[in-house]
Structure 1
Amino acid sequence: MQDVMSMNDLGKAIETKFAMDQELAFKIENQTQILVAEWAAERIGLDPDSSKKFVVELGEWSLQPSHNKDFKTRLMADFSANGVEISENALERLIELKRQQVKRKYLAS
């Protein structure tokens, strides 16, 4: 009986760790997108109020299941619409840099 209890405990522990890992991944991605959106708003030249609205709008947009993978595509379209030139490669590097900064912050706490 002890072995069955141990297996149940192990299963629960694995489920708990998985849930915590998923929550951490969501938080990291969300914070990364906020930082990148703030940077993008600055590059586009938005005033503080418009910048805040842009970050919120982009955050809400990216939370929709059909859009969560298209964050970079959306930013590229926003840059293009506002005459800001940036390569996809440069944007990808920036996103990854911000993601690593956020990961370090979360893993340090």
Structure 2
Amino acid sequence: MTTFDERQKGFEKKFAHDQELKFKAEARRNNLIGAWAAEKLGLTGDAVAEYQKEVRRADLEEKGDDDVIRKLRADFEAKGISVSDEEIQQQMVEMLAQAINQIEGSAS
């Protein structure tokens, strides 16, 4: 195997690893944002865990975060809770950072 082949395999492994970490971080972020939204919606107990599943499923509908934002906005509007898209986006950014920290902390 040539040095070039070894480097290519190394890059492929790193890319696959980075994609896996991104998926894990986004899934964890969705759990966190689901818990945050569930609290605002007044959900408790098993309803919180079920709502977190719904948020994770919503994220699989299309690429990007818009599907999660739309779900949360619709759920807040249905309950008459005023939360702006900017607040949802800010929470998602903060929750992603928290999720990454959790993943990095558990990897140590």
Q: TM-score, normalised by structure 2?
A: 0.87
- Residue 79 (structure 1) aligns with: 76
Q: Secondary structure at the match of 1:70?
A: helix
Letter in 1 for 2:89: E
Structure 1 residues 6-17: aligned runs within 5 Å:
6-17=3-14
Q: What percentage of residue pairs aligned between the two structures are identical?
A: 29
The 1-side partners of 2:92 and 2:19 are apart by: 19
1:51 alignment partner, one of 40, 48, 67: 48
Establish whether residue 20 from structure 1 lines up as the match of residue 17 from structure 2: yes
- Residue 38 (structure 2) aligns with: 41
Check 1:52–1:106 CA distance in 2 against 1; reply closer, same or farther (3 A cut): closer
Range that drifts further, 89-98 or 67-76 = 67-76
- Runs of 4+ in structure 1 displaced over 6 angstroms? none
> How far has the Cα of 1:99 moved from its partner?
0.7
Establish whether residue 103 from structure 1 lines up as the match of residue 100 from structure 2: yes
Paired residues of 1:61 and 1:67 also in contact (CA < 8 A): no
The 2-side partners of 1:25 and 1:51 are apart by: 24
Establish whether residue 90 from structure 1 lines up as the match of residue 87 from structure 2: yes
